[in-house]
Amino acid sequence: MENKQSSDEIRKAAVNLDNAIEKKDTEKILSSFSDDCEIELLGIKLKGKEGVRRWINWLYKHLAEVRFLPVTIMIDDLTIPLAILYFPSCRYS
């Protein structure tokens, strides 16, 4: 059975994750991911919550500030709420 979330549930989860990232609350961040999750960044695959922990530790070691920027993408009749990882201390061109 497919588990669909409403836009409000997705938005709430994104806000909670963003708040946890800004507060550097590693345990709260980890609770946003499943035990069998996979993250791929720059060609490196990280698996499970230990992989998420390695990613979080790297972020906080190398970046002064990290946030999610909420974005909504609309394609035809489809609306997709997303959160983009944003590094305010970096310059974007």
User: Would 12 be classed as within a structural domain?
Assistant: yes
CATH of the domain at 62: 3.10.450.50
- The β-bridge partners of 78 are 75
Q: What percent of the chain has pLDDT over 70?
A: 67
User: Would 1 be classed as within a structural domain?
Assistant: no
User: Would 91 be classed as within a structural domain?
Assistant: no
Query: In this predicted model, what pLDDT tens digit does every residue of 33-75 receive, in sequence order?
Result: 899 999 887 788 999 999 999 988 888 887 767 666 666 767 7
User: Would 75 be classed as within a structural domain?
Assistant: yes
User: Would 2 be classed as within a structural domain?
Assistant: no
Cα 30 versus chain centre, distance: 10
- Check residues 20 and 78 and name the one with the higher pLDDT: 20
Amino acid at 71: V
What are φ and ψ of residue 40, in 5° steps?
Answer: -120, 120
Averaged confidence pLDDT in the chain:
77
- What domain range is 73 assigned to? 7-86
Position 1 scores a pLDDT of: 45
How many structural domains compose the chain? Answer: 1
User: Would 50 be classed as within a structural domain?
Assistant: yes
